[in-house]
Amino acid sequence: MMYGGGPRGPGPVLVLSNNTQRDQGRKVQRENIGAGKTIGDVVRTCLGPKAMLKMLMDPMGGIVMTNDGNAILCEITVEHPAAKTLIEIARTQDEEVGDGTTSVIVLTAEILKNSLKFIEKAKDYKGIIQWPYKALASSLEIIPQTLTQNCGASTIRCLTALRAKHSDKENKNWGINGITGELADMSQLGIWEPLSVKLQVYKTTIETSILLLRIDDIVSGSKSKSQQNAGAAAPTQESMRG
């Protein structure tokens, strides 16, 4: 990196090689959103007690079958920077509180998806500050919606009934039974979710979404296979003797 002068003082000047690729603007944001949605789709069906199994092949040719979102994210290999960021964030969630990995990915993917329409039509929105909040509230419904879908119940019927239940503060512990797909009082079933896990899920989700949406420039450089092979020093007789 070099520094050059300008009307506002010295600023950084990037010196890039011919093999460097650079994407900017809305294209970067759309690609980041697409990468987030792709990672979310991988683990979406792994949420809840009726989660589906994923079959993974490791580099040694072994087969691994699991429905644990964190294990799946540890096994897959991705190239896109945004996808790598999501996987690293999920690992951080697991290290911090030991749970909520799948929820973080699914929620982040949904928030990114719902933010796309605001990015595409940002110039048309003036003074309508409540719309992003409505989009965020809509994104948070992806968890009960996914649980309902994974257990084969009617999504519209369950979510409508759940909203009606939650309109009364006395029913704050009601949720969706991930096995039967019916509404149930979670306290009666003895199911409790630690507050620390829930708060960390929301915190990580919001911070990751904001981070990815603020990126408008990606600079990447990679060598071709021929350059990589040429860069590897051939063994000499002297080195082989040593």
Summarize pLDDT for 79-99 with one digit per residue, the tens.
888 888 888 888 888 888 788
**Given this model, what pLDDT does residue 202 score?**
83
Q: Which two tokens stand for residue 150?
A: 């994974």
Measured distance CA(112)–CA(107) in Å, rounded: 9
Within-domain flag for 170: no
Say if 82 falls within a structural domain.
Answer: yes
Alpha helices of 49-100 — where are they, by DSSP H? 69-75, 81-97
The CATH number for 62's domain is 1.10.560.10
In a domain, 16, yes or no: no
The answer to the question of residue 40 being in a domain is yes
C-beta atoms surrounding 149 within 10 Å: 19
Residue 56 in domain: yes
**pLDDT(103) > 50:** yes
Whether 2 is in a domain gets the answer no
The reply to whether the predicted model has a pTM over 0.85 is no
Asked whether 147 and 134 are in contact (CB, 8 A), the reply is no
Question: What does the pLDDT read at residue 240?
Answer: 43
Answer yes or no: is 81 within a domain.
yes
Report which of residues 151 and 24 the model is more confident about.
151
Domain presence at residue 41: yes
* pLDDT at residue 23 greater than cutoff 80: no
What tens digit of pLDDT does each residue of 39-94 get? 988 888 888 888 888 888 877 878 888 888 888 888 888 888 888 888 888 888 88
Which residues, 6+ apart, have CB-to-CB distance to 225 below 8 Å? none
The domain in which residue 94 lies consists of 22-122+131-141+194-212
What is the number of domains present in the chain? 1
CB 49, CB 179: distance < 8 Å: yes
| Cβ 32 vs Cβ 213: under 8 Å | yes
